[in-house]
Structure 1
Amino acid sequence: MREQKYLVLLLFLLLLSSCGKKQKNIFDFSTKKEIYKVSKFDLGFVKQVKVEKVKFGNKLTWSKFNFESKDQKVQFVGYNVYRLARSGILPKKALNKRPIMGCFFLDRKSLFKKRDVEFKDFLYTVVPVFNVDGRQVNGLLSSIVVVK
């Protein structure tokens, strides 16, 4: 009877001492997926970006982006349009919610947005978007265009 108490106490202490510790799996045979790396210089940039003021906002147009990749892991998805901040820094979010497939964008919100105090202009840039092995990657920035 006394030996059973010691055995139960020993088991209880072992159980208590192992609580909260993450057990290591020494037999991990899972394959780790390698991240496919690509240079932004290989992806390219959008050319001939133009902006004009129209009745309903600012209309941006650009030439069609021709991209052919030898690697099937890199696919062209569309374009993102950015309105640069007052400091000239590219914002984190694009003006469009999803990549644009066409070669134009109408910024209707520019009519309601306060213009930059220093430049009194709107600054825009267009960025090509790619799907690189399941990840969304932006290409190089186009030239920055200004509308007064």
Structure 2
Amino acid sequence: MNTMKKPSPYLTFAGAMPFVLGSVFITIGIEAIPVLGKVTHVLSIYGLVIASFMAGAHWGNHLSLADDNTWAVKLPVFSNIIALALWLGFLLLSTVGFIWLLVVGFVSMLVIDYGLHQAHIINNDYYRVRKYVTMIVVIALIIAGVQL
């Protein structure tokens, strides 16, 4: 019997580490990472990629829902609004403004996941991991944001 678990919870927690490292680097005064560039820029781009990926996961969730499920309409709309708002925010806002927009984006997606969990569209294990990782990411971004 193969008891290997899916790697997604581990990868999800690992995906929070660049946010934590970015906030630690900003806190201790490291301004740039060799080869990668300014810490704030690296953190912003990584946040944009991860938030877009998560919005895409919401889009994917809607594809398996029945047409009469309210989330079948909400998910593609919300996921597009969030992804486009973050992209435009990245292009138009200051770095600190974009960091705060990421906080709003990640919290918004967790609120959506709460609704999906309540509607039994996502399971308990997935929601629990998302909740903890979002808390880690949001705290890291807040720590970074108040120092910029």
If the length of structure 1 is used for normalisation, what is the TM-score? 0.26
- Pick the structure with more strand per residue: 1
- Pick the structure with more helix per residue: 2
Larger gyration radius, structure 1 or structure 2? 1
